[in-house]
Structure 1
Amino acid sequence: MGTTLKSAAQLLVECLAEQGTDRIFTVPGESFLAVLDALHDTAAIETVICRQEGGAAFMACADGAMNAAGSGRPGIAFVTRGPGATNASIGVHVAHQDSQPMILFVGDVARNMRDREGFQEVDFSAYFGPICKWVTRIDDPARIPEYIARAYSVAISGRPGPVVVALPEDMLCDHVDDAIAPRPFTTRPPQAVCPDAMQALFGLISDAASPIAIIGGAGWNTKARDHFQQFAENIGLPVATAFRRQDAISPDSAVYAGNMGYGPNPKLVQRVKDADLIIAVGARLGEATTDGYEVPTLEHPDQLLVHIHPDANELGRVYKTDLEMCCSVDEFAEAAALWEDSAVIPFDAGAQANREWREWASAAPSETAPALDMAACVTHMREALPKDSIICNGAGNFAGWWHRYWRYAGYPSQLAPTAGAMGYGVPAAVAAALRHPERQVVAVAGDGDFLMNGQELATAVQHGANLLVLVIDNGAYGTIRMHQEREYPARVSGTQLSNPDFAMLGAAFGGWSAVATTTQEFIDALAQAQTRQGLRLIHMKIDIEQLAASGATVSALRAKA
């Protein structure tokens, strides 16, 4: 009898299934038609057909972020070479800076065409190298199981992040012995906590007068959330979340102090500045979280820093660190919750910081409020929608109202790029609605933000996603306009937008839509949306004067300047 053969593409799909892949996001390309054909016969993997590679990569990034809370499996995207890969690079960059597991597969030029600048050829190692954990190319089909297992291992280990795998189109059509099988399911290797370091940590805590924790980031999951909250509540430790990591602790916790990043509570900022001990867990302490490395400052003579992170390269990279712990954050959180040290006397600061946050994050009625008051709208959403709703947003001042007034109660419930990429919200919401059909999913997008990937509403409708989309339309690139008014008051240039009727656009995609120009109209529209399923879009028209949740207005910025 002759040897039974299978295509390299079939072997690749078998390896994906063995690694627990149940969904991929793709824009098809002729360079990986063999993979699409192999997926045709694989019921275990759903193929989500997207409309632009940036949207597909954002969906994969968001899927990896959601999986990180439990299974830890990376999000998966397939795109074609050249423009497909470069379009998808934004998702890779976000996954890298957000420390989320993701694998991007790129159909590539045939092996005999390489290094000739063939049609759509790109040097992927040079292009993706700085923004991912590993870039590789599979030239030998017999080694597919090895490469796929390694790709998954790299994506989920240490500081999670993206991996890029190039697949020459002729290699995918080669045949291999049917006996070549996938490697076993890859798991994240454990990173244990050092007992001596834990003892040193509790010694620092017992000596501290005003400690604070900043949490959320690489490797954070449900286990880390639950155990760290228990630890912090046991000792009354105030807990702030890193930029766009607000679901890292329950907002109902008696020690939650609010979020760092853009537009934080001024009292929280002062608390961090005055702290004599900062415990950073999972957070990179990047530019956004620290307001340009000013909160905390890089050098503070009376402030100690403990940094717990799964990647040794991150420890001591920017900040002077007094105690470094390279370990899994969930293992650390569990050890901290179970650790007993009689020398630690519970602090009152946790409850005080929580009161300050609740006061700051509560919208008070105002007689001078705009017709469509964003703070009031988000406050009403808190009452009307389930507490575990998933809020997805891209970049822009519009997101600040949710960062300040929403309560990220579920986990995961905040899908927002710490990399600050526009266009993330709608694709992330599509991925969330497919991953968690039992939960309410809300895409929050500014007008400029929405039109970067709003076409993925077609993907949502095609795949039956159940989601609510809020488009906040002020006719401008609002964040840039805010900086413009601060630096060049009354000299508006390059920030004005002429927009379509977003409600009609939502209807054109096959969804239900409404327009809101006042707070009451929004309340009424939201009530109607809740009685429906599928795609629902509310076009919220606000005046550019209402610039940010911090209270910034055009007139105030001009007056100050």
Structure 2
Amino acid sequence: MTKRTGGRILVDQLIAQGVDRIFSVPGESYLAVLDALHDSPEIDNVICRQEGGVAYMADADGKMTGRPGIAFVTRGPGATNASGGVHVAMQDSTPMILFIGDVARGDHDREGFQEIDFPDFFRPICKWAAKIDDAARIPEYVARAFRVASSGRPGPVVLALPEDMLRDEVEATDRPAITPAPISPDPGGVGALMELLKDAASPIAIVGGADWCPCAGHHFASWAERIGLPVAAAFRRQDAVNNASPVYAGQLGYGPNPKLQQRIRDADLIIAVGARMGESTTDGYTLVTPDHPDQILVHVHPDPNEISRVYRTDLPIVSDMAEFAQVVDAWEDDDLVPFSTGAEAHREWREWSDPKPRDGVALDLGPCVAAMREKLPADTIICNGAGNFSGWWHRYWHYGEQPTQLAPTSGTMGYGAPASVAAAIRFPDRKVVCVAGDGDFLMNGQELATAASRGADLLIILVDNGTYGTIRMHQERDYPDRVSGTDLGAGNPDFVKFAEAFGGWGERITTTEEFGPALDRALEKKGIRLLHCLTDVEIITNSTTISALKSR
């Protein structure tokens, strides 16, 4: 064998695993990797402006491809900046690997320059964290990282790379590409599910999450449509099935359709497929309680450790999502009488997702979303971070087949802009829209520089109400008329000029009537386009106002 540097060995392993793109901010602690990438045209290195953007882009890429998104950052502040994206990948069950350049091995435990014990730091928020001290073992560690990130409940892996280890020249045996080991559902379990359906009066499915993919969405929707089973999406998993499906019932989480919530409460059989049944999806574990008396819970998940972790599970089924969906889609049972509730739930969602104009509102976002539905294709990718602004799209946008929604279930701010850049690079022929609030956007708006450097084609809908709206909402509910720490005042920039500073185009919008024509002008252009929508903080959500909150 020929000796190679640790940096060269590492890049060779990424190529062997089929990696075609990484996201990074350079650092002196992994110069040997950057040197190896110089001679590796197989890998596209997307240079970002801040490590938070790096991690969010890697998470978004993992969501879109189903393969681990790859991020590289340097030690100390680089790694801590990226930690938010690791947390997102963990809570969102996204396959991702973060590589961190580290101090030299001989300097460990001296609190050297930017030194952190990375395995200890990241272990609580990832699936596996380790440090590679021997360059000859890089193939072993990388292969294990891909296996861990992709298997069971997918999630992030963190590997620290001492800089002197990356410079070592050693012999190493490459590992072949990790191929998924599919887990098929137990036929007895599927048969038991079908028997439960025969006895059920008001069943409902909650889908999306770990290991979900377009194949799963297609086959699960096909089966649900055949038997008339209502299908609700877990929080921010609205592209789990095409919303045009005649049994799609809408999303759970924050601001769901009250009729859907009641349908969940009245259900005698709940089939959770891929979903963790987390706090957001279950409205603080109250919509479906962990012990759910008078309800039967079937939980289908690729990780046996997730089943019964929080919720009492009456019928556990361990399976890959695609395998399970294909099995139930092919299952034939003439004794299973189709339900009428699927069509009823879909009609209720269509009514809920049809925006009604609100009187006395200068810029009403509901009709704006309706205008977007008319002018943008069904495979448009909508990207957003956290904030009340996102509720208008969660309620009124109709999502197509996965991937058409990039939104963190962890509720992190600043996700939408970097996610939209990753989407525009991954799918240059599709429409990509970043929906952001003013506070949300400025947390990672600098990644427009990355978009400009890559010639990315994306549209930004920036909703500006001059406040941290979600927190203001809670504040007015719990401490009315005592606004503190949420008003952004006159601190916001001219967002149109901000977009223009990166070579983009922008337009300011103050009324509902201005939105449609401005959107037309934006869609005629390429590159970075931004619609700066100035809204009234009084209209705090798509269904209530600050005045209404105070009156309660």
TM-score bracket, shorter-length normalisation: over 0.9
Match of 2:532 among 535, 539, 559: 539
Counterpart code for 2:72: F
Match of 1:404 among 382, 388, 395: 395
Deviation string for 1:343-380 (max 9, x for gaps)? 210000000000011011101234x1511110010010
State how far apart, in whole Å, the 2-side matches of 1:295 and 1:339 are: 30
Please say if residues 219 and 329 of structure 2, whose CA atoms lie closer than 8 Å, have aligned partners that are also in contact: yes
- 1:313 matched residue in structure 2: 305
Aligned pairs, number: 550
- 2:546 matched residue in structure 1: 554
CA shift for structure 1 position 301? 2.6
State how far apart, in whole Å, the 2-side matches of 1:99 and 1:559 are: 40
State how far apart, in whole Å, the 2-side matches of 1:85 and 1:369 are: 48
Secondary structure, counterpart of 1:458 in structure 2:
helix
Please say if residues 390 and 410 of structure 1, whose CA atoms lie closer than 8 Å, have aligned partners that are also in contact: no
2:519 equivalent to 1:515: no
Please say if residues 11 and 181 of structure 1, whose CA atoms lie closer than 8 Å, have aligned partners that are also in contact: no
Please say if residues 85 and 106 of structure 1, whose CA atoms lie closer than 8 Å, have aligned partners that are also in contact: yes
* 1:369/1:407 CA distance change after superposition, 3 Å: farther
State how far apart, in whole Å, the 1-side matches of 2:274 and 2:412 are: 21
Secondary structure, counterpart of 2:442 in structure 1:
helix
Counterpart code for 2:245: S
With structure 1 as the length reference, what TM-score do the two structures score? 0.97
Secondary structure, counterpart of 1:308 in structure 2:
strand
Deviation string for 1:217-247 (max 9, x for gaps)? 0000011001100110110000000000000
Structure 1 segments, 4+ long, off by >4 Å, are none
- 2:468 matched residue in structure 1: 477
- 1:58 matched residue in structure 2: 56
- 1:416 matched residue in structure 2: 407
- 2:35 matched residue in structure 1: 37
- 2:163 matched residue in structure 1: 169
Please say if residues 310 and 326 of structure 1, whose CA atoms lie closer than 8 Å, have aligned partners that are also in contact: yes
Deviation string for 1:523-544 (max 9, x for gaps)? 1211111111111111110010
Secondary structure, counterpart of 2:136 in structure 1:
helix
Counterpart code for 2:454: H
Match of 2:317 among 315, 325, 332: 325
Structure 1: gaps spanning 5 or more residues: none
CA shift for structure 1 position 485? 0.5
- 2:483 matched residue in structure 1: 492
2:441 equivalent to 1:441: no
Mapping for residues 126-525 of structure 1, pairs under 5 Å: 126-177=120-171, 180-366=172-358, 368-497=359-488, 498-525=491-518
Deviation string for 1:84-127 (max 9, x for gaps)? 00100000000000000000000000000011111111111211
State how far apart, in whole Å, the 2-side matches of 1:290 and 1:411 are: 22
Secondary structure, counterpart of 1:246 in structure 2:
coil
State how far apart, in whole Å, the 2-side matches of 1:378 and 1:143 are: 52
Secondary structure, counterpart of 1:392 in structure 2:
strand
State how far apart, in whole Å, the 1-side matches of 2:154 and 2:160 are: 20
Secondary structure, counterpart of 2:354 in structure 1:
coil
CA shift for structure 1 position 4? 4.0
Please say if residues 506 and 513 of structure 1, whose CA atoms lie closer than 8 Å, have aligned partners that are also in contact: yes
Please say if residues 10 and 35 of structure 1, whose CA atoms lie closer than 8 Å, have aligned partners that are also in contact: yes
Please say if residues 474 and 544 of structure 1, whose CA atoms lie closer than 8 Å, have aligned partners that are also in contact: yes
Secondary structure, counterpart of 2:382 in structure 1:
strand
Secondary structure, counterpart of 1:290 in structure 2:
coil
CA shift for structure 1 position 556? 1.1
State how far apart, in whole Å, the 1-side matches of 2:269 and 2:116 are: 48
- 1:100 matched residue in structure 2: 94
Please say if residues 240 and 401 of structure 2, whose CA atoms lie closer than 8 Å, have aligned partners that are also in contact: no
CA shift for structure 1 position 11? 1.1
State how far apart, in whole Å, the 2-side matches of 1:521 and 1:187 are: 51
State how far apart, in whole Å, the 1-side matches of 2:198 and 2:374 are: 40
- 1:76 matched residue in structure 2: 70
Identity %: 63
Match of 2:21 among 19, 23, 39: 23
State how far apart, in whole Å, the 2-side matches of 1:495 and 1:524 are: 32
Please say if residues 205 and 229 of structure 2, whose CA atoms lie closer than 8 Å, have aligned partners that are also in contact: yes
Counterpart code for 1:402: W
RMSD value over aligned CA atoms? 0.9
Secondary structure, counterpart of 2:419 in structure 1:
helix
